[in-house]
Amino acid sequence: MEADMSKEINFMVGGEAGQGVQTIGFILAKTMSRAGLEVFADQDYESRVRGGHNFFRVRAGNSELLSLSEKLDVLIAIDQNTVENHQQEVNDDGVTIFDHDKLKTEGKKVNSLSIRLEKIADDITSNKLMANSVAIGAAVAVGGYKFEFLKEVIKEQFAHLGQDIVDSNIKAASAGYDHAMKSKPEFIRDPIKPRKSNHKMLLTGNEAIALGAMVAGCKFISAYPMTPASSIMEYMAEKESEFNMIVIQPEDEIAAINMAVGAGYAGVRAMTATSGDGFALMTEGYGLAGCTETPVVIVIAQRPGPAVGLPTRTEQGELGFVIYGGSGEFPRAVLAPRTIEDAFYTTVKAFNLAEIYQIPVVILTDQHLASSYQTVTKFDLHKVKIDRGQLITDKEMRNITDYKRHKFTDSGISPRMIPMSGGPLVVTDSDEHDEAGHMIEDAAIRTRMMLKRMKKIESLKKETAGCRLHSRRNAKVTLIGWGSTYGAIMEAASLLERDNLNVNVLQLNELWPFPVDAVTSALNTTKTGIVIENNITGQLSKLITAETGIKCANSIHKFDGRPFSPSYIVKEVKKEVV
Amino acid sequence: MVITNNMITLSDYKPSMAIQWCPGCGNFGILTSMRRALVAAKLEPSQVLMVSGIGQAGKFPHYVHSHVLNELHGRPIPAAQAAKIVNNELTVIAFSGDGDGYGEGGNHFISAMIRNVNMTYVVHNNQVYGLTKGQASPTSDIGFVTKTTPLGAWQPMRPLALAIACDCSFVARGFSADIEHLANIFQEALQHKGFALIEVLQPCVSFNHQNTYDWYRERIYKLSDDYDPGDRMKAFDKALEWGEHIPIGIIYRKKPPRI
């Protein structure tokens, strides 16, 4: 019976920027994954390279985890701020690991596992910098896990720095592990046993998108560094040669999107990635892709605006911007993955839609999805189908004598050709143009060309017509969300059920063209709808009303730059329902 | 898949639509010169991709039978570089005016010269905005009075000096009324391996009554045969020369980069 119970352990590492918080957090997350557990890990960091206060949370358990927990079992405090800010999140039986030569926990109710981290590191490896590894060793010991898992992860993590560094880190971690086992045996837990043998990948949302793009055959990414999107380009740059891709960091976001359009026009699958302000610079190129009917995929990892806002934090403030943005009117698709795993398959779909409909396609994520880690089942490559739409092949093009890039067709989709020597000429223009792609002023041709482009929406609509409704018996309320809030909302729904409040969950991930019929029927299943969004104005709520005529009277907004936790949603839903 | 056809003639590069420039526009000379250079280079229209921005120069590709990507204002070179990178068999030529290339697209201009992708970039410089009807441009002479600069324009940019500062691998200037000379520069640029910038002085007969055909003719001189375009410091001097004497020809040429 016990094996079926849902169990979890929550770690947090906190410290200043530059103190190795990210490295410790990642090693812990990977160690838990190697121990066969499901992991969800999120990062909270400031926009600075040194100082400040950063933390990394690792939630590990024996069932799938898609959101963060606000309760801690093991707190690794690298600095005094971590003790001050997070001690209250530690459960009564939780443990705080810290170096009592440096930090104080006086006046606080703490199960302290104080270790002289730096002294041990110095004694064992003659290098105080190994103190973090001593702390990780102690944390893994408290969890009750075998040292072997940690040892393997350390080997991989530090291999590029040479054998000496690997050996020193292992020694330091081992000393921390042994110290915890011996000095505080009462803190050592029974390890959570995995339900089945678990060989999952530990990935961030950005890595899942990069992998999705590579599997989809993307050969060109031009992107200007912008938190929290940069790691997509960085991941692909690392694999550039192996996968025969071109990765370019241009002078600005304007060049980034124009390069992607140029590459798309010249024949390869192309993309760019940015955040809100970067996309503000790209809106001109967004319209260019729409007007010239050039496929392009644009990833927007949202962060709080306006302007520079909170660069390293999360928000869902750009839904309206991407749906309505750009000069004039043109068809586009907007997809918002709900989980890190979903981000992979969504990216493949984005590349297909871009080429089938010859339009710009936006993948709308946020910092919470982009830089959180999740254990993900090995991707099912049978589900990956590459559809390049009406692309005229090399062979076919030899027989074409009168090619028109923007030919009027019933579907609005004109067969697409790549400019090649020996082939028909491919002409397109950011000015309004005729079927042949040459600039025009004629009112009748303009009208037909607008109708032709917008006609594509009719078939595109069918591609985004669905939505996910998770129903519960006798539910009176539907919780509605979009994108990365899926994990927190789903877990909140389970917690509410325990409190005898059954709710449905409607999570929208394909937001444009808007799935009008599916949303209308889903919302008609309950009387009350509560829209939950990481923004202040309720952009999804307004979109639902605009597209379906249904008004959701209740809403929960969060715009402090931090992600929703399940417990926060539970608390707010209870306020709305009572 | 490269098809070579020795029988390419000027008629292969006929305009694909009616030309919309004003009668007497300096752009006509650029058009004739480019068509001659393409024929001399024995390139098929389908081997050539012309990318342009917006302005009177932006219309250029529509008047030369070829693959065409008419881009946004100021943005032809990012797209042109990407197209060349992913589709290397194409000969890629981009076109801007002084507003498109030096104003709106200034950041792209600098970065493209540093990146040194193998393509040709032609900037039609008439020192005024034509399509928007007569406002000052980045290269308008100091004091140039227009509707937007009633007190006179700021000092002009010296784009060729900027190009040499960026170590652009091929920097040249031509005059649209000297077709033979300009066609030769284009031919050299098409053969050059790397980013080739050609600025063409091109009188605007409608909106620039100061820098006219005669104004240019009085000042322009051809670089002598013994001028060494490999000398970067001398090239910088030449690039700054403006006013009484204006040099045309290949001002700076770097040895092909090893990639």
Question: Is A524 contained in some domain?
Answer: yes
The whole-angstrom separation of Cα A90 and Cα A100 is 18
Helix A230-238 and helix A205-215, axial crossing angle in degrees, nearest 10 = 50
Omega before B247 within 30 of 0, i.e. cis: no
Q: Write down the pLDDT at residue B256.
A: 62
ipTM surpasses 0.90: yes
Q: B188-208, pLDDT tens digit by residue?
A: 999 999 999 999 999 999 999
CATH value at residue A165: 3.40.920.10
Looking at CATH, the fold of the domain delimited by B21-253 is given as: Rossmann fold (3.40.50)
Reported as a pLDDT band with limits 50, 70 and 90, residue A146 is very high
Q: Sheet harboring A296-302: ordered strands across? A: A246-248, A218-222, A269-274, A296-302, A360-366, A333-335, A510-512
Among A383, A405, A431, the domain-final residue is A383
Q: Å from A428 to nearest chain B CA?
A: 5
Reported as a pLDDT band with limits 50, 70 and 90, residue B46 is very high
Structural domain range at position A240? 202-383
Question: Is A197 contained in some domain?
Answer: no
Q: Write down the pLDDT at residue A110.
A: 78
Q: Å from A432 to nearest chain B CA?
A: 11
**3-state SS assignment for residue B130:** coil
Lookup result for tokens 């307004």: A542
> In this structure, what DSSP letter does residue A59 have?
E
Task: Name the pairing type of β-strands A51-61 and A38-44.
Answer: antiparallel
Q: Which of A421, A425, A434, A440 is most worth mutating to test chain B (most B CB atoms within 10 A of its CB)?
A: A421
Residues A51 and A24 in one domain: yes
Residues A480 and A523 in one domain: yes
Q: Write down the pLDDT at residue B1.
A: 42
Residues A159 and A254 in one domain: no
CB contact under 8 A, B79 and A259: yes
Among A135, A161, A187, the domain-final residue is A187
Q: Å from A256 to nearest chain B CA?
A: 8
Residues A362 and A449 in one domain: no
Which region among A118-127, A501-510, B1-10, B222-231 has the lowest average model confidence (pLDDT)? B1-10
Residues A139 and A98 in one domain: yes
Cβ–Cβ contact A266 with B under 8 A: yes
What is A284-310 written as a DSSP string? HHHHHHHHHT--EEEEEEE---STT--
CB contact under 8 A, B16 and A427: yes
CB A568 within 8 A of CB A558: yes
Cβ–Cβ contact B41 with A under 8 A: no
Say what percent of chain B tops pLDDT 70: 96
The whole-angstrom separation of Cα A212 and Cα A342 is 10
Residue A395 pLDDT greater than 90, yes or no? no
What is A192-236 written as a DSSP string? PPPSS----EEEEHHHHHHHHHHHTTEEEEE----TTTHHHHHHH
Residues A304 and A414 in one domain: no
Residue A1 pLDDT greater than 50, yes or no? no
Reported as a pLDDT band with limits 50, 70 and 90, residue A397 is confident
Reported as a pLDDT band with limits 50, 70 and 90, residue A399 is confident
Domain boundaries, chain B: 21-253
**Taking the alpha carbons of A301, A302, A306, A311 in that order, is the dihedral positive or negative?**
negative
Reported as a pLDDT band with limits 50, 70 and 90, residue B5 is low
Residue A336 pLDDT greater than 70, yes or no? yes
Lookup result for tokens 């938190």: A227
Q: A51-110, pLDDT tens digit by residue?
A: 999 999 999 999 999 999 999 999 999 999 999 999 999 999 999 999 988 998 876 677
CB contact under 8 A, A255 and B78: yes
Among A463, A485, A511, the domain-final residue is A463
Question: Is A411 contained in some domain?
Answer: yes
Cβ–Cβ contact B67 with A under 8 A: yes
Residues A346 and A479 in one domain: no
| Closest C-alpha among A501, A499, A540 to residue A523 | A540
Q: Å from B25 to nearest chain A CA?
A: 20
Question: Is A192 contained in some domain?
Answer: no
Residue B6 pLDDT greater than 70, yes or no? no
Number of structural domains found in chain A = 4
| Closest C-alpha among B103, B82, B98, B127 to residue B197 | B98
CB A268 within 8 A of CB A411: no
Average predicted confidence (pLDDT) for chain A: 95
Task: Give mean pLDDT, residues B230-249.
Answer: 97
Q: Write down the pLDDT at residue A199.
A: 84
Full-model pTM: 0.96
Task: Give mean pLDDT, residues A268-294.
Answer: 98
What is A123-182 written as a DSSP string? HHHS-GGGHHHHHHHHHHHHHT--HHHHHHHHHHHHGGG-HHHHHHHHHHHHHHHHHHHH
CB A24 within 8 A of CB A57: no
Residues A454 and A417 in one domain: yes
The whole-angstrom separation of Cα B18 and Cα A357 is 31
